[in-house]
Amino acid sequence: MSIKETLSFHFLKETNLSWENLGKREIKLEPTFPYKAYPMAEKIPLPLEEFPQTEGLFSILTKRRSERNYKRYFISLREIAFLCFAIQGVTARVGHYLLRTAPSAGALYPIETYLAVNYSRDLTPGIYHLEVRSFSLEKILEGNFGKILREIALGQAFFETASLVFIWSAVLRRTMAKYGERGLRYIFMDVAHICQNLLLASVALNLKACPVGAFLDEDLDELLGLDGVEEKTIYLATVGK
């Protein structure tokens, strides 16, 4: 089989940009609201009084590794807050755009973040949604989901010993309404920026993290109550010590 016969190659070809096809591949998708919130959920503000003193960037870059050996460490809300700031902290406001620590194509921010908290000294186990505007967590499910996430991640055992699992979904329409089919490329780039920030911030906080792409998509969508069409899960990362 040649690469040219694959669906992936077809997608890349059909979504490439050239002077010839510029502006000719538009699709009709209505834009949607750029933020998600669970107004009925219990809300936990994330504390960010003072940033911790950490090693320099190049030392952190040198140390980063995908680490999977965790000891059921009870993570603090303060540590969670710094991780959340690293991935989606708002650092500037330009018009109605809330610019963040991670870049986003067209400042459209298609990625939503959920945290499955297994072990924390300050938060009860459960699944929380990161509400970016108020920088708080919204509790959407109660309980330790380590075992279930392990199954969803094809049996990867470290999901059970991780303190936290970050789950990222994409609200496809946010980016695709502007960029059409090519928008999907940008969505995956967006989430990779976010995840890399998490991995580096984890090293800075003496935590360990691992990005995870192997999971049962539909089962994870179902766990979070996502329809898998307008919003679907696309990436995971475990964090522990």
Binding site for ligand FMN (CB under 6 A): 65-66, 68, 156, 210-214
Pick from 101, 104, 105: which is nearest to 88 by CA? 101
Q: How far is the CB of 39 from ligand FMN (least distance, A)?
A: 33
Q: Tell me whether residue 83 or residue 195 sits nearer to ligand FMN (CB atom).
A: 195
- CB contact at 8 A, 15 and 182: yes
Q: Tell me whether residue 68 or residue 78 sits nearer to ligand FMN (CB atom).
A: 68
Q: How far is the CB of 187 from ligand FMN (least distance, A)?
A: 14
Q: Tell me whether residue 81 or residue 237 sits nearer to ligand FMN (CB atom).
A: 237
Q: Tell me whether residue 65 or residue 133 sits nearer to ligand FMN (CB atom).
A: 65
Q: How far is the CB of 211 from ligand FMN (least distance, A)?
A: 4
Q: CA torsion, points 147, 149, 151, 152, in degrees to nearest 10?
A: 170
Pick from 162, 195, 152: which is nearest to 67 by CA? 162
Q: How far is the CB of 72 from ligand FMN (least distance, A)?
A: 18
Cα 100 to Cα 57, 69, 194, 234, 238: the distances in Å are 19, 31, 10, 20, 22
